Structure 1
Amino acid sequence: ALSMLKSMRLCQVLTSVITFSALLSACREAGQWQLAIALLHEMLGCGLQPDLIIHSAALSACERSQQWQAALDHLREMYRGRIAPDIIAYNAVVSACEKGGRWHSAMALLASVSQHSLRPDVVTLGAAASACCNCQRWEEAMVLLGRAQHLPLRVDRALWGTVVAACERSQRWVEALQLFRQAQKRSPSVDSLLYTGALSACKLGERWQEALQLLLEMRLGPRTSREASPLRWAGLEPDVVAFGAAMAACEGAFQWQRSLRLLSELRSAGLRSSLIAFSAGISACKQGQCWHQALGLLGEISSAALAPNVVTYSSAMSSCQE
């Protein structure tokens, strides 16, 4: 972009705001944040005043490059230059903080949004909640969900899923399951991401019965899962993560036969087993004293190009000793 700008100058082509806007858009798409900032300085050197769209393009370039500090610095520069950022500009900076693991900066930006008479949207709250989730700040994530519910906007499934995941990652499985059921009541079409978060919570709490119920709900829907036949499907196919979490929940609650049955269902569904699923299966074999099956699963791990960990080997060895 800079070389193109120099060529235009050599050819005495008049540079304008439109020219710089096109160059900044290219930087945004390529995630070239340093070049984007340099172009802004070039604009000022040419006596041109960048508008809000151009500033937002520079912020998006910082966000795509995960340069949270550069995004924050540029936001401050906008205020110093008396360019009032809109919610789109703020969203780019909050997303940059989310990608950089700066949950407290994301929360501070939300406060700044309100102070400047702007209203956060689903993107703003979702990015801030994701930042909290990544840093295991479940209470802050729940506050954001509550805030979203009091705003005149529709809380999407992604935000619910993020907050459920925040609770699950923070070992707050009770809260995660409660939130999942709330999401079900508010939205009839709960997606697989939400189900996976709830299943992971079941694994933490060793709620094997609820885990099996959730797997059934994914296939048949929450209203018909108890009476519908296995031939009726709701369109959601449990993936290997969902099966692995349900297996771990059963194994942790000493329901080893159910855990092995789920492993069989996973294979019947044509899914490739994960290390979590294999480990849960081997632990189930240990509980059921099925040493030959445990060794078979250990061999399958190597065949699947997975690397067994210490826990996996220990469970397999224990099954042989028993």
Structure 2
Amino acid sequence: ITYNAAISACEKCGQWEQALKLLNSLQEANLTPDNITYNAAMSACEKGGAWQEALRVLQQGLENGLQPDTITYNAAISACEKCGQWEQALKLLNSLQEANLTPDNITYNAAMSACEKGGAWQEALRVLQQGLENGLQPDTITYNAAI
């Protein structure tokens, strides 16, 4: 719990490098990170614009037996969104669905925003259509990402 709180504090301040150091320290102490740990570390990377590091954290978690949930994927997709890495965001959206998890508004909004920031407006509209077919209840953020 102490490590999770410290990593979450780093996330709130955008101190992604410190968050990753804490994640490594936790593992060196033979403690097992959980979803909250990995999600907070990825969110810290997102806030620091370190999308590649966020994906490394996700991969490391998967290799260590992490059972990702929608929040986990949302953290990774949001990290890609901040830097317009739409192709990576869409790969993560597909991975989420292949894992039989249900995307939510945050998932679709972040994926569409990544497409928008990356200049892939047609992909953003495709994601919107997919979301609507899957029961997405669009909100202001959804429509802003689509236009």
- TM-score band by shorter chain is over 0.9
Stretch deviating more after TM superposition (155-164 or 28-37) = 155-164
In structure 2, C-alpha distance between the alignment counterparts of 1:75 and 1:150, rounded to whole Å: 28
Which among 40, 53, 62 is matched to residue 57 of structure 1? 40
2:84–2:116 contact (8 Å) kept in structure 1: no
Which among 73, 94, 103 is matched to residue 77 of structure 2? 94
2:3–2:26 contact (8 Å) kept in structure 1: yes
Paired amino acid for 1:43:
L
In structure 2, C-alpha distance between the alignment counterparts of 1:161 and 1:83, rounded to whole Å: 33
Q: Shift of the alpha carbon at 1:161?
A: 2.3
In structure 1, C-alpha distance between the alignment counterparts of 2:145 and 2:3, rounded to whole Å: 37
In structure 2, C-alpha distance between the alignment counterparts of 1:45 and 1:133, rounded to whole Å: 40
In structure 1, C-alpha distance between the alignment counterparts of 2:61 and 2:107, rounded to whole Å: 19
In structure 2, C-alpha distance between the alignment counterparts of 1:133 and 1:25, rounded to whole Å: 28
Which among 12, 21, 41 is matched to residue 4 of structure 2? 21
Residue 155 (1) aligns with residue 138 (2): yes
Q: Shift of the alpha carbon at 1:157?
A: 2.3
Q: Shift of the alpha carbon at 1:152?
A: 2.7
Helix, strand or coil at the partner of 1:119: coil
Q: How many residues align?
A: 147
In structure 1, C-alpha distance between the alignment counterparts of 2:31 and 2:117, rounded to whole Å: 40
In structure 1, C-alpha distance between the alignment counterparts of 2:63 and 2:123, rounded to whole Å: 30
In structure 2, C-alpha distance between the alignment counterparts of 1:69 and 1:162, rounded to whole Å: 22
Helix, strand or coil at the partner of 1:92: helix
Partner residue, 2:98 = 115
In structure 2, C-alpha distance between the alignment counterparts of 1:139 and 1:147, rounded to whole Å: 12
Q: Shift of the alpha carbon at 1:67?
A: 0.6
In structure 2, C-alpha distance between the alignment counterparts of 1:90 and 1:114, rounded to whole Å: 10
Partner residue, 1:233 = none
Larger radius of gyration: 1
Paired amino acid for 1:122:
N
TM-score normalised per structure 2: 0.94
Tell me the alpha carbon deviations over residues 108-143 of structure 1, each in whole angstroms, 9 at most, x when there is no partner.
111111111111111111111111111221211111
2:108–2:131 contact (8 Å) kept in structure 1: yes
Would you identify which runs of 4 or more consecutive aligned residues in structure 1 move more than 3 Å?
none
TM-score normalised per structure 1: 0.44
In structure 1, C-alpha distance between the alignment counterparts of 2:44 and 2:145, rounded to whole Å: 24
In structure 2, C-alpha distance between the alignment counterparts of 1:57 and 1:135, rounded to whole Å: 25
Q: Shift of the alpha carbon at 1:90?
A: 1.0
Partner residue, 1:140 = 123
Tell me the alpha carbon deviations over residues 5-61 of structure 1, each in whole angstroms, 9 at most, x when there is no partner.
xxxxxxxxxxxxx22122111111111111111111111111211111111111110
Flag structure 2 segments of 5+ consecutive residues without an equivalent.
none
2:83–2:117 contact (8 Å) kept in structure 1: no
Asked which structure has the greater RCO (Cα within 8 Å, sep 6+), the reply is 2
Partner residue, 2:89 = 106
- How much identity, in percent, do the aligned residues show? 40
